[in-house]
Amino acid sequence: MTEERGALVAAVRDFAKTALAPYANEWDAEKHFPVDTLRLAGEMGLGGVYVREDVGGSGLSRSDAVAIFEELARGDTAIAAYVSIHNMVAWMIDRFGDEEQRHRWVPRLVTMEDLASYCLTEPGAGSDAAALTTSARRDGDHYVINGTKQFISGAGASAVYLIMARTGGPGPSGISAIVVPAGTAGLSFGPNERKMGWNAQPTRQVIFDDVRVPVTHRLGDEGDGFKMAMKGLNGGRVNVAAASLGGAQWAFEKAARYVQEREAFGAPLSANQSIVFGLADMDTELQAARLLLQRAAQKMDDAAPDEAVACATAKRFVTDVAFQVANTALQMHGGYGYLHEYGIERVVRDLRVHQILEGTNEIMRVIIGREVLRNAKGRQ
């Protein structure tokens, strides 16, 4: 770690300890979305971590970003995950938008004065994203959008909705990326979903009923949206893996302290060899997960040809390991781990969805397995 990155990570760690961690249980219990705290994060440049500097971004690398999101997640996993999604949208507009679009939307996203939502998933199109049916029909110099997006983080609180809609025929080549501002006529939201975790951020349907937006709100050319969405998801997978790692690391360290303080049968729990072995396995797996994550982030920074499979590999491994580590940390706490005040059960609940979103881990296995077969065939 360079001196500069070390200072940055230390600043984010301090923010997570003071502005997130003391309130994480309360936000979870009350289902409170801390918009004011997010704006404080924006003041630190955390709303545009890898956005270009000419529109106010921090201009950092993906390797820097995973270190940042890990630290944020040690304070509050659900909020760190939302910040990562917000960053994905800000980056997509910065990367694929023209100069007018970049300067119109990105500066306020960077400061988190405006929040963003990524709208790809639909009630009938989750893992099979290319089958989405939300339509954007051309009407002069406007699109008329109809359809419903499902499981959208930040919905109802965001100012910017980056949606994938069908402007052409079936399949991925008929999909375009369009920015829809909050307050546009015909845009509405379903009720806040009652979820197992991620209670500190709202998750709602986003409903489009003859929503009219100018054609100038489209990023790139018609039919480019699916490729943009997949590029965005590469980063999203790395980001959510980093958030998983941070939550799991926090739970692991809490368990390592607890087993030295808690006594049973006349001795600390840490005197039990099975506990020591468990901690050793947890630490080893977290270190392996972090290395795999850093590898994927470096592939993104290098624009490596195997970037997508590296991101899928990291997402699959890190989110599975993180959930298991947090669950084991809960077990080491015994009945206390099941109590809300200890925070462990909240992290377990929050981390569970990371194995599903940004492409389920089963889909990650499909991506990895296809690459394995392709490489094996190429070596014949």
Active-site residue set: 358
7-32 burial code (b ≥16 CB/10 A, e <16): ebbeebbebbeebbeebbbebbeeee
CA angle 75, 81, 85 (to 5 degrees): 145
Give the chain's radius of gyration (CA, Å).
21
Whole-angstrom CA distances from 43 to 110, 112, 220, 264 are 8, 8, 29, 47
- Kind and range of the H or E element at 282? helix 273-301
The DSSP output letter for 33 is: -
- Strand 160-166 vs strand 142-153: parallel, antiparallel, or unpaired? unpaired
Instruction: Give CA–CA dist 14/380, Å, rounded.
Output: 53
